Amino acid sequence: MKIALYSQKYKAEYAPLLTSIFEELIAYQDNIVIEADLLRRYSEHNPFSYTVDTFHNVEDLPSNTDLMLTIGGDGTILWAMTLIQHLQIPILGINTGRLGFLATISQSEIGEMFSKIHNGQYHTDERSVLQINDSEGNPIAPLNFALNEVTVIRQNSTAMITVEAYLNGKYLTSYWADGLIITTPTGSTGYSLSCGGPVIMPHSKTLALTPIAPHNLNARPLIIPDNTEITLHVSNREGCYLATYDARATILPCASPVRISLAPFCLKTIELEGNDFFKTLRNKLLWGEDKRN
């Protein structure tokens, strides 16, 4: 197999983990493709003589890569998606962070992980991705897509913003709030959840609109089909607002409405046998935990 390795930020404590990953890859005679900066940082203090290929961005990442292993948390997977984009290379995350709804493999499971991968004991999921454009359909930024959520939110002010929402050209409502989150099923366990949004099954063909601290108290999260085109007109005293898409953001003038829709590609993730979304909910959100029992 051809397996890529990526980590958003290299840390010295990753060295033993990377060493064990390399040992497994070499034992299985896999072809290794590693992000160039990750290899440079690791090699500074760890002798490494095995032949590998390197990549810097989506242009030089081999399209025939079988899967990408990420080292970090869910945020690392969000950045890894910017390297994969349309290549449709599946991602499997090794969790070195805290929560990890996407990066679900613990460091103690490395050996078992490689065994399941090479024995075909896994399946591939497709996760919806959003894109955010201006009213003319042009990207608001070069990397204008998001796996978790797109958000419009107040910028440099304590005053609320007003968000007029249109679904497929039809007026829905105006939110008086700190902002509005448009979340995918993947992102439903993130920012949206903390604002009272629903947990959505990963394969649901839906999106959720979740207001952030709404002043019109009857405003509640809304589930919509994921093929809906959402247009947002934002107004406030400052004359500008912040549009975020995963870990990236752009300041936009209120005169610029945005259109949010499905991106032309999805993100593929790998789920090993024995892991599933319900297990993740129980482990990460402590569903079913009760000190009385």
Asked if 127 contacts 188 with a C-beta cutoff of 8 angstroms, the reply is no
Domain ranges of the chain: 2-127+266-284, 130-262
Asked if 166 contacts 172 with a C-beta cutoff of 8 angstroms, the reply is yes
**Is 60 designated active site?**
no
User: Can you give the pLDDT at residue 62?
Assistant: 93
**Protein fold of 2-127+266-284:** Rossmann fold (3.40.50)
User: Can you give the pLDDT at residue 155?
Assistant: 87
The burial class, CB within 10 Å (0-12 / 13-18 / 19+), for 142 is exposed
User: Can you give the pLDDT at residue 289?
Assistant: 74
User: Can you give the pLDDT at residue 50?
Assistant: 83
User: Can you give the pLDDT at residue 99?
Assistant: 67
User: Can you give the pLDDT at residue 115?
Assistant: 95
Catalytic residue among 74, 134, 178, 246: 74
User: Can you give the pLDDT at residue 46?
Assistant: 84
Quote the tokens at residue 96.
């070195």
List Cβ neighbours of 181 (8 Å cut-off, separation of 6 or more): 149, 150, 151, 191, 192, 195, 197, 208, 209, 210, 211, 212
Residues of the chain with pLDDT under 50: none
Q: What is the pLDDT of residues 80-115, one digit of tens each?
A: 999 998 899 999 999 987 767 888 888 888 999 999
Angle among Cα 188, 125, 183 to the nearest 5 degrees reads 20
- The structural architecture, per CATH, of the domain 130-262 is Sandwich (2.60)
At residue 272, φ and ψ (nearest 5 deg) are -75, 155
At residue 76, φ and ψ (nearest 5 deg) are -65, -40
Q: What is the pLDDT of residues 222-257, one digit of tens each?
A: 999 999 999 999 999 889 999 999 989 999 999 999
Asked if 130 contacts 182 with a C-beta cutoff of 8 angstroms, the reply is yes
